[in-house]
Amino acid sequence: MSDEIYTEDTEHHLDLRHLTLDDYEDVKELMDNVYRHVGGAWPYKNYKAQITTFPDGQICIEDKGKVVAFAISVIVDYDQFGDKHSYDEITGDAYLTTHDPNGDVLYGVEVIVSPEYRGLRLGRRLYEARKELCRNLNLKSIMAGGRIPNYAKHSAEMSPYEYIEKVKSKDIYDPILTFQLSNGFEVKQIMQAYLPEDKASKGYATLLQWHNIYYEPGNPQLIGGKKSSARIGCVQWQMRYFENVEELIQQVEYFVDALSDYGCDVALFPEFFNAPLMGLAESESSIDAIWHLAEYTDEILTATSLLAVSYNINIIAGSMPVIEEEQLYNVSYLCKRDGTIETQYKLHPTPHEKKDWIMKGGNYLRCFDTDFGKIGILICYDVEFPELARVLSEQEMQILFVPFWTDTKNGYLRVRRCAQARAIENECYVAIAGSVGNLPKVDNVDIQYGQTAVFSPSDFAFPHDAIVSETTPNTEMTLIVDLDLDKLTTLQNEGSVRNYLDRRRDLYRVEWLGGED
């Protein structure tokens, strides 16, 4: 048996690469073919200037050694030209004398695909390569003037503005504009006398723009800059009897220490993780027990905030009961590693909490800025109200944290299913953390059912079942996951479905009517 590798001689062998000076004859042949009615190819001196001035911006696709498609680009300081420019002005008569390495816009000078290859979508490959170049160079956008070569056939009955709207609505096909719109470009305006010799377009052109959603203005921050990923740790907390509050804080520190060692940005604890201390109440009534539990909140909060600072990790301290003006609330605390503390009150107490504990709901909803991204916190039952996550989504929330406490599997599944829906609806990650085990001596909180999990949107860039990871049910453990925040930005703009962008704001909206800080 031979060790020789056999390669079948296929019809095409395509290679995307940068143009070189040696490619001029192929480029000239393409331009003479496509532009035979409008002047043909550039002279070699123009082509040489393009390659030597900005070699990284000139790309092509070759098939078995012959260039069959190419794209020419230039970086410009766009404010120097503005929207009212001509082709010759912004390209320096195609010599690229306007090239500015410190500019902010990648300008499309030319794209040509051999007519014999137009069924292979090579133009799309070139456009995607340009977008990659724009992102890697950290430029604001790609701009280009686009011909509308079918306009001459319709110019007698409609203006160029009407023609463009017809192309947008797909009532008319234009070989260039239709292609550009399908590749994510927007028509910014119409330009007159852009290419006066272009009779098919009647001299008109569209000014097109593609926005680089990853553009970072100014110089990149070397330390403490915006993160593109976050490592989150969730605690599946075992309910157990504690002799005193010090023992509970010791158990909290155990998990904080472990998650910090793994470099987590945040630790999420469950709702009412301090509930075992209810067993220390002298009275056996549930309302006396929960009010007694509130007496420990300040001490636990102070200790947790100190842990966040000393272990360099943000901590979402599940939730704890708080008494304010003789009213009982359920409050989640975000203890940041810089020492600051922020709060999110539970807005919807459950029927049990209202009836047995006389608990009130809060009136504020916050989207928190953290050093690992924008987050929201909804306590247990609150995640079952989709309006809340929608309000947070409008404030660019990236991760939603849900500390929960459920006693039965059906109660848990309500939280889980709603959390998964919030991730898909709002194109964000959702992390839920609950408690497990039994507290037989504590009235109304004697059993727990829980499974901690992290959910994602549902699209190709994410896990096939939209579950990033999950724990074993009813077992004390931690869950640590890395979340790619850049994927959310890509999803919102280029996903299979785009819930945020496609929302019909002309027909409906969710409006926050409550208080503001």
Active-site residues, by number, are 271, 346, 380
Pull the structure tokens for residue 474: 């009813």
Amino acid identity, position 86: S
Strand partners, 141: 105, 211
Classify 12 as helix, strand or coil.
Answer: coil
Torsion-angle region of 394 (φ positive above 0: left; ψ -120 to 50: alpha; else: beta): alpha
* Max Cα distance, the chain (Å): 96
Closest CA to 319 of 340, 339, 338, 300: 300
What is the C-alpha separation between 264 and 382, in angstroms, rounded?
Answer: 26
Contacts of 366 (CB under 8 A, 6+ apart): 342, 343, 344, 376, 377, 517
Classify 229 as helix, strand or coil.
Answer: strand
Pull the structure tokens for residue 161: 């503005």
The pairing of strands 327-335 and 477-484 is unpaired
33 by Cβ neighbours in 10 Å (0-12 / 13-18 / 19+) ranks as: middle
What is the C-alpha separation between 492 and 236, in angstroms, rounded?
Answer: 31
Strand partners, 447: 438
Dihedral of the alpha carbons of 382, 385, 387, 388, in degrees to the nearest 10: 10
